[in-house]
Copies of this chain bind each other. A is one copy, B any other.
Amino acid sequence: MRTRAEYIERLGKMNHNLFFNGEKIDRLDERQQGALNVMGLTFDAVWDPASKDLCTATSHITGETINRFNHIHQNAEDLHKKQDMTRMLVNKVGQCIQRCMGIDAANAIHAVSYEAQKSPKAKTAYHDNWLKWLERFQREDLVASCAQTDVKGERLKRPAEQIDPDMYVHVVEERNDGIVVRGCKVHISEASISDEILVVPNRALQKGEEAYALAFAVPSDYEGVKQVVHFHNYRKRDTYERGIEYGYTDSYVIFDDCFIPWERVFLCGEIRHGGIAASLFALFHRHSYSGCKPAMLDYVIGLAALAAEINGIEKTPHVRNMLSELIMTGELGYAAGYTASALGQPQVYMPGMGLVPYGPGSYIPNSIYANVGRCLTGEAVFHEQEILCNIAGGMPATFPYEKDLTNPETKALLEKYLNRNPKIPIEEQIKFWLNFIDFGLSGSTGSVQYGSYHGGGSPIMEQIAITSQYDLESKKDIVRAIAGMEPRAK
């Protein structure tokens, strides 16, 4: 297992394919530091005795101790631990811990490549390729991001119906030694600070869309890969320093006729498995949200409770009521993930067939519970901001700038008039509000909200998953029996 320093060192040696606001930048550019700080926590955790047990696992292929973020879930306990590891680490930074994309994509591809390799028309030994890649991934303790979201062009048209066929990543040429792919994946978190990028399809596919049924891996600085990067950092502070400097990044990952050798291809043409790859990554990722969204709620609850304390209204009924709403959202989200873990099985839902065994025995969380949890916490995002706004009052919207707070002409006056709670030193109150502004009123706020709402699938996607997979007919049977109607014809 690597250290934070080893991880960063390796990134420093990579090719320059990051574009930022008209420049080409290095992976150790200062604007990457916030994100690197966060990812670094996932390396620190395995060396910290307090978190080592939770954050490591035993590889089922090598028997070695590995970072849990590179592990394939072997049982329900592994699912529980992923959820709890995620919540614990997110609690250290109050935002996305950034490494779950890799574990979620790896677990999806692990099962899909296994099933697809059985296909008589398989283009290569998908699962064998995969196991080779996985073994190195675990051994070298790499960071993978997952590229799923296509740009999608006209949104009511399917991939093959688009005027421009490149609106979904697809194979444009098949060669003896590999394939050439073209297209662009967007909103790819941590792609600029990852070692590898795992690519999976974005949606269910049908006949004629074989070129889009595609899963593979590339190094993130690979030839033919261009990343247009977005940063979400906070302005440094001179006086009122944060406890941790954090940020995040995401990329447009453009495959500009990029050549992929067969040994890095895990799926190529099997439309049914392509659709499962899409939904299985989403499922694992929604399960990750059952750790990260409760942790985000922990942070929001802390912000709300401290704001209320500073404002001297922590005990008022309407504040208690809002705190209980936040707690409910977080803990229902956690409970949904917990239940999804406990009821996990090596099986997937297939339309018309229900739950069927799938993959080599690795564990998959229960889809209904993973989806209801993600949907609940996704839909709550903006209402959480409303609660914070309600409790905080207007103060954060017009808070003085840092240098007004230190300017001798204004410092004493501002400290006098900002003070709302004689029991809390004014410096602490100021640090709190500056942090509150970072979360709720900064240039990163909107992006975080959009990510929390749409990431892992917008609420509407979870609703579709829920209603299409739920056994509605058995619920009708309950009514039929009580109403004295005829039993369902079987």
Residues of A within 8 A of B (CB): 19-23, 91-94, 149, 151-156, 163-164, 166-167, 184, 186-187, 226, 228, 230, 240-244, 246, 250, 252, 254, 256, 298-299, 301-303, 305-306, 309, 311-313, 316-318, 320-321, 323-324, 327-328, 331-332, 334-336, 338-340, 342, 368-369, 372-373, 375-376, 381-383, 385-386, 389-390, 392-404, 406-407, 409-410, 413-414, 416-422, 425, 428, 431-432, 434-435, 437, 440-443, 445-447, 449-451, 453-455, 458-460, 462-464, 466-467, 470, 472, 475-486
How far, in whole Å, are A215 and B451 apart by their CA atoms in the complex? 47
CB closest chain-B residue, reference A93:
B482
Given contacts A393-B454, A484-B243, whether A327 and B466 have CB atoms under 8 Å apart is yes
Assess whether A458 is in contact with B393, with CB atoms less than 8 Å apart: yes
How far, in whole Å, are A328 and B156 apart by their CA atoms in the complex? 27
Assess whether B228 is in contact with A410, with CB atoms less than 8 Å apart: yes
How far, in whole Å, are A459 and B321 apart by their CA atoms in the complex? 10
Assess whether A20 is in contact with B404, with CB atoms less than 8 Å apart: yes
How far, in whole Å, are A243 and B205 apart by their CA atoms in the complex? 43
How far, in whole Å, are A88 and B340 apart by their CA atoms in the complex? 20
Given contacts A472-B305, A483-B242, whether A398 and B250 have CB atoms under 8 Å apart is yes
A386 contacts which chain B residues (CB < 8 A)?
381-383, 453
A399 contacts which chain B residues (CB < 8 A)?
230
Given contacts A437-B446, A479-B435, whether A324 and B466 have CB atoms under 8 Å apart is yes
Assess whether A372 is in contact with B331, with CB atoms less than 8 Å apart: yes
A154 to chain B, nearest CB (A): 5
Assess whether B410 is in contact with A369, with CB atoms less than 8 Å apart: no
Assess whether A482 is in contact with B94, with CB atoms less than 8 Å apart: yes
Assess whether B434 is in contact with A302, with CB atoms less than 8 Å apart: no
Q: List 9 A-B contacts (CB under 8 A).
A: A93-B482, A230-B399, A243-B483, A303-B479, A335-B335, A396-B446, A435-B483, A441-B450, A442-B446
Given contacts A151-B418, A324-B375, whether A432 and B156 have CB atoms under 8 Å apart is no
Assess whether A390 is in contact with B20, with CB atoms less than 8 Å apart: no
- Identify which of A339, A418, A420, A459 gathers the most chain B CB atoms within 10 Å of its CB: A339
Assess whether A321 is in contact with B324, with CB atoms less than 8 Å apart: no
A256 contacts which chain B residues (CB < 8 A)?
413
From B187, B317, B417, A398 is in contact (CB under 8 Å) with B187
A416 contacts which chain B residues (CB < 8 A)?
164, 166, 184
Assess whether B450 is in contact with A389, with CB atoms less than 8 Å apart: yes
Assess whether B375 is in contact with A328, with CB atoms less than 8 Å apart: yes
A274 to chain B, nearest CB (A): 21
A-B pairs, 8 with minimum CB distance: A441-B446, A22-B403, A435-B483, A397-B450, A302-B479, A302-B475, A443-B443, A21-B401
Given contacts A312-B156, A404-B228, A450-B397, whether A324 and B463 have CB atoms under 8 Å apart is yes
Assess whether A372 is in contact with B335, with CB atoms less than 8 Å apart: yes
Assess whether B305 is in contact with A335, with CB atoms less than 8 Å apart: no
A410 contacts which chain B residues (CB < 8 A)?
19, 226, 228
How far, in whole Å, are A295 and B433 apart by their CA atoms in the complex? 31
From B301, B401, B422, B454, A230 is in contact (CB under 8 Å) with B401
A91 contacts which chain B residues (CB < 8 A)?
478
How far, in whole Å, are A404 and B432 apart by their CA atoms in the complex? 36
